[in-house]
A and B are shown apart, each in its own frame.
Chain A
Amino acid sequence: SQTIHQWPATLVQPVGSPLSLECTVEGTSNPNLYWYRQAAGRGLQLLFYSVGIGQISSEVPQNLSASRPQDRQFILSSKKLLLSDSGFYLCAWEQGTYEQYFGPGTRLTVT
């Protein structure tokens, strides 16, 4: 069966510090991968999606970036965090059926 992991679960970082969030998927090959951000009590904002290794599409201009160094690994990064980067970050995978399967999320607080 397929599983999706995200870490860390929570993170508190000062403004201006770097960020690296990791997402890995097990039990499937060549999935479509997604990074979302969710503000408190709000819906999901699509940040990046990837249809294959090294293929990243950005949905919202910002100081975040994403990479997919391996088929089942998706990384969200920033060189310098802003206060507005605080939120709940969710990774998801999907494989041609439109149904997305989400990880447990990372709660990021930028102080």
Chain B
Amino acid sequence: SQQGEEDPQALSIQEGENATMNCSYKTSINNLQWYRQNSGRGLVHLILIRSNEREKHSGRLRVTLDTSKKSSSLLITASRAADTASYFCATDAYTGGFKTIFGAGTRLFVKA
């Protein structure tokens, strides 16, 4: 089963609105990351939050982490049409070599 699961699966908003995406995971983690993928392209790293951090900001992005609930949220403020993409959360897992496990993603569509 997947470690990270995003919610909602798809989100459609108007330009200027805020977009919130959630991620839940099952096991203890060292950190959680958010990535963005434009259609047909590779993923781009957005932000990493460590297990001892509760909130992190990067430009219009705000990420929160609640390890007691095993969940994280990504907030994009004042969205733009260019923010249209899929967003994935990813968590690390140690199995004889660190690897990162990705969720299924949230598809965000920002209407101009």
Q: List residues of chain A with CB under 8 Å of any chain B CB.
A: 32, 34, 36, 41-44, 46, 49, 51, 57, 59, 88, 90, 92, 94, 97-105, 107
A98 near B92 with CB under 8 A, answer: yes
Decide: A98 near B31, CB < 8 A? Known: A43-B88, A44-B88, A46-B99: yes
Chain A positions within 8 Å of B101 at CB level = 46
B44 near A102 with CB under 8 A, answer: yes
Check: B43 CB closer than 8 A to any chain A CB. yes
A95 to B48, CA, bound (A): 14
Interface residues on B, range: 20 to 34
A34 CB contact (under 8 Å) in B35, B40, B41, B99: B99
Q: List residues of chain B with CB under 8 Å of any chain A CB.
A: 2, 30-31, 33, 35, 40-45, 48, 88, 90, 92, 96-105, 107
Decide: A99 near B43, CB < 8 A? Known: A43-B104, A46-B99, A49-B99: no
A90 near B43 with CB under 8 A, answer: yes
A90 CB contact (under 8 Å) in B42, B96, B100, B105: B42
Tell me what chain A mostly uses at the interface: helix, strand, loop, or mixed.
strand
Chain A positions within 8 Å of B99 at CB level = 34, 46, 49, 59
A94 to B31, CA, bound (A): 15
| Nearest CB of B to A50, in Å | 9
B102 near A44 with CB under 8 A, answer: yes
